[in-house]
Amino acid sequence: MHNNNGITGGGAANNATVQSGDRQALNSLLKDATNSGTQPLSVDDANTVLNWALEQKIPGVRASSGDVGVPSNWTANPAQPHVHIPGTGLGNHIPVESGGTPR
């Protein structure tokens, strides 16, 4: 992945900055891998993208026990475990399969 200026994010203030090429690539990968946030990632894939997001220092990245638990704390879809990567997914939620470990 390359670091270059890209598009602006939408929504929350921490997403309204110019995104690097790495972040654009992560967003695109997540959009494709989750069918725009409707299909869950495997636990291994979710851990990989969480690590990438943390390396990019994206604020708000998390996978708390309420996020990855069943039922989860996702109001719109409480049956679906998820992780948070702001600027991606449906309202920053990335669906994941059951069995994730909080971190």
**pLDDT tens figures, 57-102:** 999 999 999 999 999 999 888 889 999 998 886 788 999 999 888 8
Q: What region does 86 belong to: left with phi over 0, alpha with psi -120 to 50, or beta?
A: beta
User: Whose CA is closest to 99, among 46, 20, 22?
Assistant: 46
pTM of the model: 0.76
Q: Any idea where the domains of the chain sit in the sequence?
A: 5-95
Confidence of residue 14 (pLDDT cuts 50, 70, 90): very low
Higher per-residue pLDDT: 12 or 39: 39
